[in-house]
Structure 1
Amino acid sequence: MAEGSDIAARMVRLEADNTRLRRLLDEAGAPDGLRHGLRDTMAMLRAVLRLSAETADSVENYATHLEGRLDAIARVRVTADTFGEVNLHTVISDELMIHLIREGEQAALDGPAVRLRPKAAQLVALAVHELCSNAVEHGAFGLAEGGVEVRWSVDGATPAGELTLVWKETGGAGIGPPARQGFGMQVLTEMLSYELGAKVDLAFEADGLRCTVRFPLTPRVGHVVDETDFEENGEPG
């Protein structure tokens, strides 16, 4: 009961903060885009709080994972507020770095320059965060020789184009499907599908997890850009 009361109290405080922020933005005459972005972010935060509570098997598990999930969303929101869009490479590399997985060492990233709209970027960041956390706790990142290859491509055959992203862990000892559907599985199998129209395939291979995500690059999701449009730090020039 205490845990349920605590979650309910958090939800009430979050909704109250959301209402105050909307009122302040309206009074300040903030642009529609900013207000819309705030609504999307707050809705996602509410969903994360609720699903984290529903899928956690203990208060300790809930507290341990919630902060990382909220941070993943917040980092993308800051970048989106600055640039309007977020570089897919940056989303992935930032999440890996939070888990001390460095590109060129334990991680290899490769794919065209893709900019994601704020909501799509937050969802992808949350998915990558869950993949990283799972690899640390159960997969390849828990082993000295473990690593990950993340590669993505865009098929331009359809009007919008379809992005295919493959997360492939290497050097692992092999893991099986989880005994229960936790928060990470819900993000991968439900949230991405509902919000982005994504199709997700999970394969539990001998050396680690392979996760393949496909979704259309519609205007509200993102688009491919010329490599020269980016500065060295991966953000728009």
Structure 2
Amino acid sequence: MAEPEATVARLAQLEADNARLRRLLDESGTPDGLRHGLRDTLAMLRAVLRLSAETAETVDGYATHLEGRLDAIARVRVAADTFGEVSLHTLISDELMIHLIREGEQATLDGPTLRLRPKAAQLMGLAVHELCSNAVEHGAFGLSQGGVDVTWSVAGDGKAAPGDLTIVWKESGSTGVKQPTRRGFGMQVLTEMLSYELRAVVALAFEPNGLRCTISCPLVPRTGRLAEDERADETGETG
């Protein structure tokens, strides 16, 4: 899709605003951790804006999908700012609820208590958003009998030594699922952004009854950790 003049102008304005904000952060004595987190978020927003424009087929589609992507990033950012880390279970269940998919009805979630660092959480949040949106538009969530099972596991204990985090998104109840003929934004998030930022390996299988997406990445400290207190609830607090 050729970018409309208004979109080009808006992107240029956002770039200028981001540059000014980075200068203000550097000059205001903002704590290093907060400054670093805001820079990561701004960089991701710029990437999302550009990739959304490059991969959209219509202006309406661009606007609709961009709003959902920015909302997904914002939700994770709020959780990260509040708790310092983001529960993987909460990240997934919150995104499903945005699409009116309830855990225990059309979705099952199962895995150990896992906390993601802010940058990794934003990337995972964006990936889950794209999987949900695709399931609504083309996959299991567009059918009354459709659903998804999401499981995650960590090889090793994920504490003493890094293990691999593996997340499996398995849709069911679909028919005639086919591999897309073009690489849209969601495909780029799954196959490029996760690989570059998290060293993730992503496998997509278009099976007869629905999409299977498997994401594997090293569970290193900058990515996340298994919760040390298994009694911790999904907000990161202990009861």
TM-score (ref. length: structure 2): 0.93
Residues of 2 paired with 1:24 and 1:230: CA distance?
37
Report the equivalent of 2:138.
138
Report the equivalent of 2:201.
199
Give the residue type in structure 2 aligned to 1:54. Answer: E
Residues of 1 paired with 2:10 and 2:62: CA distance?
13
Report the equivalent of 2:237.
236
Residues of 2 paired with 1:196 and 1:101: CA distance?
27
Report the equivalent of 1:52.
52
Q: Following TM superposition, by how much is the alpha carbon of 1:156 offset from its aligned partner in structure 2, in angstroms?
A: 1.3
Give the residue type in structure 2 aligned to 1:185. Answer: M
Count how many residue pairs are aligned between Structure 1 and Structure 2.
Answer: 236
Residue identity (%): 72
Tell me, which stretches of 5 or more residues in structure 1 are unaligned?
none
Residues of 2 paired with 1:2 and 1:96: CA distance?
32
Tell me, which stretches of 5 or more residues in structure 2 are unaligned?
none
Residues of 2 paired with 1:68 and 1:234: CA distance?
23
Report the equivalent of 2:7.
7
Residues of 1 paired with 2:118 and 2:112: CA distance?
18
Which secondary structure does the structure 2 equivalent of 1:100 belong to? coil
Report the equivalent of 1:71.
71
TM-score (ref. length: structure 1): 0.94
**Residues 126 and 173 of structure 1: CA distance in aligned 2, closer, same or farther (over 3 Å):** same
Report Cα offsets for 1:24-43 as digits up to 9, x if no partner. 43444211000000110000
Residues of 2 paired with 1:227 and 1:167: CA distance?
26
Superposition RMSD in Å? 1.7
Residues of 1 paired with 2:30 and 2:232: CA distance?
28
Structural mapping, 1:1-237, within 5 Å = 3-156=3-156, 159-231=161-233, 233-237=234-238
Residues of 2 paired with 1:23 and 1:157: CA distance?
41
Q: Following TM superposition, by how much is the alpha carbon of 1:2 offset from its aligned partner in structure 2, in angstroms?
A: 7.9
CA contact (8 A) 1:76 1:91 kept: yes
Report Cα offsets for 1:79-99 as digits up to 9, x if no partner. 111111111111101110100
Q: Following TM superposition, by how much is the alpha carbon of 1:9 offset from its aligned partner in structure 2, in angstroms?
A: 1.5
